[in-house]
Structure 1
Amino acid sequence: MKLILHSTIAFVAMVSICFGAPFKSTDKCGYSACNLGQPDKLNVHIVPHTHDDVGWLKTVDQYFYGARNDIQHAAVQYILDSVIPALVENPDRRFIYVEMAFFWRWWLEQTEDMKNTVKQLVNSGHLEFISGGWCMNDEGVTHYSSIIDQHSLGAEFLRDEFGECGRPKLGWQIDPFGHSREVASLFAQMGFDGLFFGRVDFQDYAIRNLTKTMEMIWKGSANLGEQSWLFTGILPRVYTAPSSFCFDYRCRDEPIKDDPRLHDYDVDQRVQAFIDAAHIQARSFTTNHIMMTMGSDFHYENANEWFKNLEKLIKHVNAKQANGSDVNLLYSTPTCYLYALNNANKTWTTKTDDFFPISYSEHGLWNGYFTSRPALKRYERHSNNILQVTKQLNAFSNITLRQAFFPLNEAMGVAQHHDAVSGTEKQHVADDYALRLSDGIDSALYVINQAYKKLLPKENRSPVVPNQFLCQLSNISECLPIEGQDIFTLTIWNPTIQPVQHIVHVPVTKYYTIRNPTGEIIFADVHQISQIIKNIPGRTSSAQLEISFQTSIPALGFNTYYFQAISEIEIEKTSSIEVTYNEACILQNQNLRIEFDDQGNLKNITNRRKNFTVSFSAQGFYWYTSFPGNNSGPEFQASGAYFFRPLTPTPLPVSNTRNITCTYSNVSQKASIVYNEWASQEIRLYDGANNVEMEWIVGPIPIDDNFGKEIIMRYDTDIQTDGLFYTDANGREIIERKRDYRPSWNYTVYESVSGNYYPIPSRVWIKDNQRQMTILTDRSEGGSSMHDGSVELMIHRRTLYDDSQGVGEPMNETAYGKGLVICGKHFLIIEPPENSALYHRPTAQQLYMSPISTYALPAVSYTDYSNNFRQTWSALTAQMPYNVHLLTLDQLTVKVFLIRIEHYFELHEDDTFSKPVQVDLQFFFDSVGKIMDLTELTLSANLPLNDMNRLIWRTANDESSYSKPTHSKASLTNTIVTLNPMQIKTFQVTLE
């Protein structure tokens, strides 16, 4: 099977999958391998490291091989080739490695002798894996599901190759452009003892530097208590060496010249300079230990150059102790530095908010990337959706093809990199990320087909199962394989554990009758596809019509719908469609009423169940003009891929006039509003829905005036907000924001707009005592509330200047010779604050775990199809709790599965669903077998929870961070587990 790559087979062959046979470690590693220095000295932990971007200016494979050095000289394979023998040469040396996407590529090419050498280095603590994810993931725009997956992928590889000595002890997020409280919580649940990163706001850094609060206990969750707390440290100089002490061939710093027989002997000057640097750094920290990162981007291609100079430095600095110096240098790792801090028995300050947004300078805020490359951001989210469905189908069909969809797993791991889904890479690299996801989806589709070959045929029947295919351009009403077909089927898989109401949109060139799973002909609307959709560059479909109908898909199961073409003569009017043009109109169902005036302005949304109204003074598209600076100083900072900086604080309307068309049918009512030839929206209300669907199309953004533009969708209401709004962290917990304010320091406003922009991976809301408006997004976007009652979300960007952060290109995406067109959705929920979570929590889960549709061309009559194939099926035989979500279901071997379940409500969000809940894990496996053994694991699934013993820390308030896991081993006779609000539990399940 061609889709199984050579590397995929190698990966599967090298791992044991479950906890039956890990590599046994025999020597000292981890904390037991640490040198804690001297108690009466300032101990400087020298940490040799390389930071290897998993794609940025070059693709991940170009970086690995050292290709395209005309763009950037970087070759990861040579770094590892050089470091390993250097570590063997001197047993004092230490080195850390972080990005498993690269290490795995290198590992596949090594001999058994080399692998054994590396294992010995890992076992003895000379080579240490830090963080251990497939990449160093972004924290602003990533979704928690994908963060967990990419760390689990790396953790599985390390566990199965290196055993306990390969298990990382801490997070290492030295390069991302802001840091999320949710990521800290996830890391704590993975069993990490600490986290170090390099980038914070320059104002925040200055205050922490003066007050010796560079290290703290970060309380990562408002719901989980001590189990989410994480010791966190901020690195000086981001992650580079002190000035003049970089010893890579890339650096211009002088080597240590320590032979007095030769000219240019400089030991005395260099030693004193280093001692001074150590004392200056120590002023910002509270113990007699400091960490100095010795390395940078793609360093150590010639490891000898670094190590030789470091050893000279260590030797000569430590020799000064005989003359009274208190500086003691030692090779170390972040793990050993963390352990030294823990042994210092200090108390630490705490932090409960996050590190967003962060400013590089007065006018350079790292928050343009919250929106940059919106198409890639959506494609990554869609790919995760397909990955989770593929895992489920593989598990329930018991076909054990986990290795076949490894390309999608790997592509998703690469895509989480902080220069990938963030949108801060060169264009050719963004294209490569998308290509990897596309190839990965192809591998997943093979597994989906094999699964349906098991699940679709009825018992005792063995028909030829038609091939399933995806129509991934359905968002532009294009599905070429079904065009002109007389018969096709649509099978929809629901990956959630609750039945879902799902609206189907099928682009067609003919009229069809549609039979549901019971054989009944169902009502459907047939609409003309809008001219705006037809005009999207690259659309090749000849479909003029779109069929829409409402479905109810069973939990963890599928429905199949059978389409058969009919002639126009045979068409019976199943729905009456009414249309108005440029008139005031009202959309209304059982729950909501939406009012527009004849100019296309949204005026009111009324919650009919609760009898209150939210009035809108404005709703629609605006743009900020991008600042066109030359980056020669902070005041000339341009807006680009990383930074968002508007030229003026007031956005301009995309158009002062608009046309509105309102359409009424059985399935939906909608208002189609056209602003101009490049901006339009369609506001839909479906029968029985509790939310408003806002679909928008933006692009090509015009730049004929030589100005870049940052397009926002703004919602201005009469809700009284008092400067407050609320945003999610990576799709999970909610954080309160206040305009022009930072909880951790006295904030000086330099940029009034971008200084208030935050990442919106999933949702944002505003509220007063009676009303809450929640907006859900289908991808990560930047957003804010720039005045009371208002929410704005940036949905597209096209800038003309590079922002001088390294990428070297403006954020100016094109396709088919024109500016890129983006189609997207927002969902509005209007409820009382005490009711809102009941609606926005499950809707958000269904957005990132949407039903996945596959089509097939069976070429048989409906009678034959229904006789031979199941048309509906569910893996669940019992109703599952409303506040529980199935996060992961992955078949590891024939009888061993990995399952993650979560309570996805927060404390105090809902009177009913914010309480602890019990769930029987056996319900998930009734269709596969009976649970015989159950082991609870850490979140990254690389350690039994019983074996997790995190370091104990104390706060300045005399609180302890120690939280011993409870309920870590379920008995064989009891598969019922309890989940508290926001708790995720991970289990390895063995069936009969």
Structure 2
Amino acid sequence: MYTMIYCAIAFTVFISLCLGAPLKSSDVCGYNACNLGESNKLNVHIVPHTHDDVGWLKTVDQYYYGARNDIQHAAVQYILDSVIQSLLENSDRRFIYVEIAFFWRWWMQQTEELQNTVRQLVNEGRLEFISGGWSMNDEGVTHYNSIIDQHSLGAEFLRNQFGECGRPKLGWQIDPFGHSRQVASLFAHMGFDGLFFGRVDPQDYAERYRTKTMEMIWKGSANLGEESWLFTGVIPRTYTPPDSFCFDMLCQDEPIKDDPQLHDYNVPERVQAFIKAAHDQATGFATNHIMMTMGSDFQYENANEWYKNLDKLIKYVNAQQANGSDVNIFYSTPTCYVYALNKLNRTWTTKTDDFFPISWNEHGLWTGYYTSRPALKRYERYSNNILQVTRQLNAFSNITLRHGIFPLSEAMGIAQHHDAISGTEKQHVANDYAQRLAQGIDSAIYVINEAYKKFLSKENQSLPVPTQFLCQFSNISECLPIEGQDSFTLTIWNPTIQPIEHIVRVPVTQKYSIRNPTGAIIPADLFPISESIKNIPGRTSTAQYELLFRTPLPALGFNTYYFEARTDVTMEKKSTTRVIHNEACTLQNQYLRVEFDTQGNLNKITNLDKNFSVSFSAQGFYWYAAFQGNNSRPEFQSSGAYLFRPFTPNPLPVSSSRNITCTYMDQVQIALIVYNNWVSQEMRIYDEARTIEIEWIVGPVPVEDNIGKEIIMRYDTDIQSNGIFYTDANGREVLERKRDYRPTWNYTVHENVSGNYYPVVSRIWIKDNQKQMTVLTDRSEGGSSIHDGSIELMIHRRLVYDDSLGAGEPMNETAYGKGLVIQGRHILVIEPPESSALYHRPAAQRLFMNPLNTYALPKLPYTNYSNSYRQTWSALAELLPYNIHLLTFDQWSSKVFLIRIEHYFELNEDETYSKPVQIDLQILFNTLGKIKDLIELTLGGNLPLNEMNRLVWKTNDNQSSYWKSTNSNLLQSIIVTLNPMEIKTFQVTLQ
């Protein structure tokens, strides 16, 4: 029922961009609606706003309807009701709105008459959408694919309902806990003219305020030049009003009492207090324009209370100009504020690094959330994988069921919220996020099945296509529907544009022969599932073994494998399986050798192909004792969902001893290292692989001693890293980090561990002149290099105190009555620096865009099955460039598609693959039809690129921002050139 309702709503609202011209609008919205102030005055741009968290202390539903006000008084539906009515009462009033997840829901409940009234407010610039994402996404732990998607989801709704006047022109990231250079670059490519946020490190803030550099040009990419530049401003007071000027029903400040007959008439005092607040704020800014945010969390439920007082404030403050005051105050928006600054035609300072990490106080670093709720972080990444595959299947099968994908798209948009994937929400809200993703996946499975009905069916065959299903607990070696079956099929879709060699692991309760799409029986290793996996709470499978085989997969296509139970010796591997317990052992394939001692210590990894080794003094699991305090002062700051503060800088090993078992098979060699009853890891090298896979299990983390524990995995090597390490930004570009250092301000160290932690969304590495060690992650984790030659990644947290930043409960996740168990994966790449990207870039892409397995129970002998169903298919008949990735392949209508392609190497990263590359887009559509026309769009997909006219800014180093675009909507060629790190977005129409 849930899925059916949401699909119906999606179908109603999300009419594809291509199906009609955007709504006509007046020419008084956007910059045309702006009051630019007066040149000889201090112009105060009053910005009424509300910050509506898409879940945090309450669920999305509870926040919208105003339920559970015992937790927090908040009701978004009444905020929007009230604001619209107040705007209609006075044409001078302005309001901005950000979170489309809420606005979309409210919009669907309004009458057509009120919708048209709201459209008029938007057309007149009185109601303005800022940022326009489904949520205000986090910037530290989000993946760029999901950031783009959630902004595109909101942008599509706004364009369809409001036309050009609904298109946001600015990013508004006022609440996230640190800010990414990559996000700035993405926003620039969405066509934004500026970005504002409220949280920076206090040391950074103080320096910027002192030097009047609160606003700057942020150079968002080291690869993409001026096109990635974005005007960026830091908002004072995060996003709240000046002291004593909050007029919301949630506030306690005095209203403006303007009847002179009253004994407590306060207009003169209020006016002078405001003029002082304006001058005080102006001391930190470089121009005669300042912006004052008038609003905060879930404010304006009674908008009349706000606006009635603001109307008076504007009237009486401006009246003082007759008495010599230079303060000019008026209703405005962030868009108009940026436009006013741009019109000053001045130069601005620049920034090339990012705003990570930031602190709350001297001992409270916002670095705990990099790892908080690791299960949810992984589930979000897994859900994105399913979302992208489902879009591809829908598009290539041409079943036009895009509305069936909307529930998962919407759940993913909500999950990007800065109190969702960040892990900083209450537990019941985290459960709600996970449930939404699960329901979205259920809806996607329907689309997947409809697509495979077309793909698998052979002509002139009337047999129904077997129902496909996901085994979502494969990560703990569980797939209940196939247990004990005499036969089943596994269909694997490869979502990349490259044919790949793929490792498949299937949990089984008996021996099977496996037939590939040609009918040939393929070799497989049968190996026992570890006790660590089998003992995970909640696992109900009786499978004792996994079948492992390596197989090629076609690009943008699928293979089906037929499993048939066998009782003969076909699957026996005794002759080729060797097991060693608690002895020194070596894993080795054609390219790598991994050496362990008798205690299970990793001693050395040798790259046989490049003839060098990395020696390890330690590799394993440690824990920091979480600081426990009452949070009354900085020195008593606790570790919590947001903050990471270790009690001491030296972590303890999880165990003083360990057991090692090495298993050798034809296609894989495994070292299983058990530390204790709650920590273990399996280190694997596969035949012909150039990377090492490390699969770890941590939990339940013991807290019976009432000590919170922050669990890390550490790799200590002989690499001479000299205090330098590298982390990725949102899965894309990589930034250099230097221990105890900030590039743009003098950093005073108060916490020498957490102050050096950075978000690791996909990779972290250290290197010297000869060797580089890169660790790839399967989800976002906090990471650092606290000592030379060392990489550490925080993989789990279980705390017993709260950090008093809002959640109101410890980060103490449980499941099945025990502490939460986390299973995860790292990929280790040992290469010379000059060739490392050739291996870690594609491996990182595969970790977030993995082939998708679906199973079926056809109840047919193989001969009948092969005669009835297609077993392999590919959308591509020829190879495409190795350094190109298909980011988005979405069908808008039967003949119109949205695609994004990207060059995923950086400049100078690889001698061959860091060069510009061409791609013929027709190759992607050969199975669908001939391309009729091609329109290049902005990254958000809501504007033809040649119609984007971004504001031009000048920097104090005599540079100027600009945007190069094509001269025509219709491209003359379907052969596209991409430069390193470039993403291009197209609307493709077929004949």
Contact 2:638–2:803, Cα closer than 8 Å, also in 1: yes
Q: Residue 546 of structure 1: CA displacement?
A: 1.2
| RMSD (CA atoms) | 1.0
2:626 aligned with 1:622: no
Q: Residue 567 of structure 1: CA displacement?
A: 2.1
Contact 1:188–1:230, Cα closer than 8 Å, also in 2: yes
Give 1:14's aligned residue.
Answer: 13
Q: Residue 570 of structure 1: CA displacement?
A: 6.5
Rounded to whole Å, the distance in 2 between the matches of 1:167 and 1:607 is 52
Matched to 1:22, the amino acid is P
Q: Residue 948 of structure 1: CA displacement?
A: 0.3
Give 1:748's aligned residue.
Answer: 748
**Secondary structure at the residue paired with 1:5?**
helix
2:350 aligned with 1:332: no
Rounded to whole Å, the distance in 2 between the matches of 1:34 and 1:647 is 52
**Secondary structure at the residue paired with 2:559?**
strand
Give 2:148's aligned residue.
Answer: 148
**Secondary structure at the residue paired with 2:448?**
helix
Q: Residue 436 of structure 1: CA displacement?
A: 0.2
Contact 1:4–1:403, Cα closer than 8 Å, also in 2: no
Q: Residue 724 of structure 1: CA displacement?
A: 0.2
Q: Residue 966 of structure 1: CA displacement?
A: 3.9
2:301 aligned with 1:301: yes
CA, structure 1 residues 120+772, in 2 after alignment: closer, same or farther (shift >3 Å)? Answer: same
Rounded to whole Å, the distance in 2 between the matches of 1:899 and 1:27 is 31
Q: Residue 5 of structure 1: CA displacement?
A: 3.3
**Secondary structure at the residue paired with 1:307?**
helix
2:170 aligned with 1:170: yes
CA, structure 1 residues 203+571, in 2 after alignment: closer, same or farther (shift >3 Å)? Answer: closer
**Structure 1 segments unaligned to the other structure (5+ residues):** none
Residues 588-608 of structure 1 show CA distances to partners (whole Å, capped at 9, x for unaligned) of 000100000000000000000
Q: Residue 962 of structure 1: CA displacement?
A: 1.4
Residues 697-743 of structure 1 show CA distances to partners (whole Å, capped at 9, x for unaligned) of 00000001110000000000000011000000000000000000000
Aligned pairs for 1:245-284 within 5 A: 245-284=245-284
Contact 1:474–1:507, Cα closer than 8 Å, also in 2: yes
Aligned pairs for 1:397-476 within 5 A: 397-476=397-476
User: What is the TM-score with the length of structure 2 in the denominator?
Assistant: 0.99
Aligned pairs for 1:808-819 within 5 A: 808-819=808-819
Residues 390-448 of structure 1 show CA distances to partners (whole Å, capped at 9, x for unaligned) of 00000000000000111000000000000000000000000000000000000000000
2:989 aligned with 1:983: no
Give 2:239's aligned residue.
Answer: 239
Give 1:770's aligned residue.
Answer: 770
Contact 2:524–2:571, Cα closer than 8 Å, also in 1: no
Rounded to whole Å, the distance in 2 between the matches of 1:3 and 1:914 is 46
Matched to 1:9, the amino acid is A
Rounded to whole Å, the distance in 1 between the matches of 2:520 and 2:877 is 24
Rounded to whole Å, the distance in 2 between the matches of 1:665 and 1:820 is 32
Q: Residue 568 of structure 1: CA displacement?
A: 5.5
Q: Residue 503 of structure 1: CA displacement?
A: 1.1
Aligned residue pairs total 990
Give 2:947's aligned residue.
Answer: 947
Contact 1:16–1:22, Cα closer than 8 Å, also in 2: no
Give 1:68's aligned residue.
Answer: 68
Rounded to whole Å, the distance in 2 between the matches of 1:664 and 1:572 is 14
CA, structure 1 residues 681+573, in 2 after alignment: closer, same or farther (shift >3 Å)? Answer: closer
Give 1:159's aligned residue.
Answer: 159
Matched to 2:323, the amino acid is N
**Secondary structure at the residue paired with 1:186?**
helix
Contact 1:3–1:442, Cα closer than 8 Å, also in 2: no
**Secondary structure at the residue paired with 2:252?**
coil
Rounded to whole Å, the distance in 1 between the matches of 2:161 and 2:570 is 64
Higher alpha-carbon deviation: 776-785 or 513-522: 513-522
Give 1:899's aligned residue.
Answer: 899
Q: Residue 572 of structure 1: CA displacement?
A: 4.7
Matched to 1:635, the amino acid is E
Contact 1:931–1:989, Cα closer than 8 Å, also in 2: yes
Rounded to whole Å, the distance in 2 between the matches of 1:739 and 1:461 is 65
CA, structure 1 residues 570+197, in 2 after alignment: closer, same or farther (shift >3 Å)? Answer: closer
Residues 719-774 of structure 1 show CA distances to partners (whole Å, capped at 9, x for unaligned) of 00110000000000000000000001010000000000000000000000010000
Contact 2:525–2:573, Cα closer than 8 Å, also in 1: no
Contact 1:934–1:990, Cα closer than 8 Å, also in 2: yes
**Secondary structure at the residue paired with 2:675?**
strand
Q: Residue 902 of structure 1: CA displacement?
A: 0.3
**Secondary structure at the residue paired with 1:793?**
strand
Give 2:230's aligned residue.
Answer: 230
CA, structure 1 residues 915+970, in 2 after alignment: closer, same or farther (shift >3 Å)? Answer: farther
Rounded to whole Å, the distance in 2 between the matches of 1:656 and 1:417 is 40
2:665 aligned with 1:665: yes
**Secondary structure at the residue paired with 2:660?**
strand
Q: Residue 461 of structure 1: CA displacement?
A: 2.6
Rounded to whole Å, the distance in 2 between the matches of 1:965 and 1:758 is 35
Rounded to whole Å, the distance in 1 between the matches of 2:912 and 2:571 is 48
Rounded to whole Å, the distance in 1 between the matches of 2:630 and 2:187 is 39
2:828 aligned with 1:821: no
Give 1:26's aligned residue.
Answer: 26
CA, structure 1 residues 311+189, in 2 after alignment: closer, same or farther (shift >3 Å)? Answer: same
Give 1:355's aligned residue.
Answer: 355
Q: Residue 574 of structure 1: CA displacement?
A: 8.1
Residues 82-124 of structure 1 show CA distances to partners (whole Å, capped at 9, x for unaligned) of 0001001100000000000000000000000000000000000
Matched to 1:58, the amino acid is K
**Secondary structure at the residue paired with 2:576?**
coil
Q: Residue 969 of structure 1: CA displacement?
A: 4.3
Rounded to whole Å, the distance in 1 between the matches of 2:710 and 2:845 is 28
**Structure 2 segments unaligned to the other structure (5+ residues):** none
Give 1:36's aligned residue.
Answer: 36
Q: Residue 971 of structure 1: CA displacement?
A: 3.5
**Secondary structure at the residue paired with 2:527?**
strand
Q: Residue 913 of structure 1: CA displacement?
A: 0.5
Give 1:784's aligned residue.
Answer: 784
Give 2:835's aligned residue.
Answer: 835
Rounded to whole Å, the distance in 1 between the matches of 2:794 and 2:422 is 14
**Secondary structure at the residue paired with 2:685?**
strand
CA, structure 1 residues 664+572, in 2 after alignment: closer, same or farther (shift >3 Å)? Answer: closer
Q: Residue 573 of structure 1: CA displacement?
A: 4.3
Matched to 1:248, the amino acid is D
Give 1:757's aligned residue.
Answer: 757
Rounded to whole Å, the distance in 1 between the matches of 2:10 and 2:115 is 14
2:694 aligned with 1:694: yes
**Secondary structure at the residue paired with 2:488?**
strand
2:522 aligned with 1:522: yes
Q: Residue 571 of structure 1: CA displacement?
A: 4.9
Residues 605-639 of structure 1 show CA distances to partners (whole Å, capped at 9, x for unaligned) of 00001000000000000000000111010000000
Rounded to whole Å, the distance in 2 between the matches of 1:896 and 1:570 is 49
Give 1:607's aligned residue.
Answer: 607
Q: Residue 554 of structure 1: CA displacement?
A: 0.9
Rounded to whole Å, the distance in 2 between the matches of 1:110 and 1:612 is 67
Contact 1:470–1:853, Cα closer than 8 Å, also in 2: yes
Q: Residue 569 of structure 1: CA displacement?
A: 6.3
Rounded to whole Å, the distance in 1 between the matches of 2:142 and 2:498 is 25
Rounded to whole Å, the distance in 1 between the matches of 2:950 and 2:4 is 38
Rounded to whole Å, the distance in 2 between the matches of 1:267 and 1:184 is 42
Give 2:381's aligned residue.
Answer: 381
Q: Residue 967 of structure 1: CA displacement?
A: 7.2
Q: Residue 10 of structure 1: CA displacement?
A: 2.5
Matched to 1:400, the amino acid is T
Higher alpha-carbon deviation: 865-874 or 879-888: 865-874
Contact 2:936–2:971, Cα closer than 8 Å, also in 1: no
Among all aligned residue pairs of Structure 1 and Structure 2, give the percentage whose two residues are the same amino acid: 75
**Secondary structure at the residue paired with 2:539?**
coil
Contact 2:513–2:570, Cα closer than 8 Å, also in 1: no
User: What is the TM-score with the length of structure 1 in the denominator?
Assistant: 0.99
Rounded to whole Å, the distance in 1 between the matches of 2:6 and 2:245 is 39
Rounded to whole Å, the distance in 2 between the matches of 1:604 and 1:971 is 54
Contact 1:137–1:417, Cα closer than 8 Å, also in 2: yes
Residues 124-182 of structure 1 show CA distances to partners (whole Å, capped at 9, x for unaligned) of 00000000000000000000000000000000000000000000000000000000000
Contact 2:766–2:774, Cα closer than 8 Å, also in 1: yes
Rounded to whole Å, the distance in 1 between the matches of 2:125 and 2:198 is 24
Contact 2:637–2:803, Cα closer than 8 Å, also in 1: yes
Contact 2:191–2:948, Cα closer than 8 Å, also in 1: yes
Contact 1:584–1:597, Cα closer than 8 Å, also in 2: yes
Q: Residue 262 of structure 1: CA displacement?
A: 1.8
Rounded to whole Å, the distance in 2 between the matches of 1:748 and 1:186 is 31
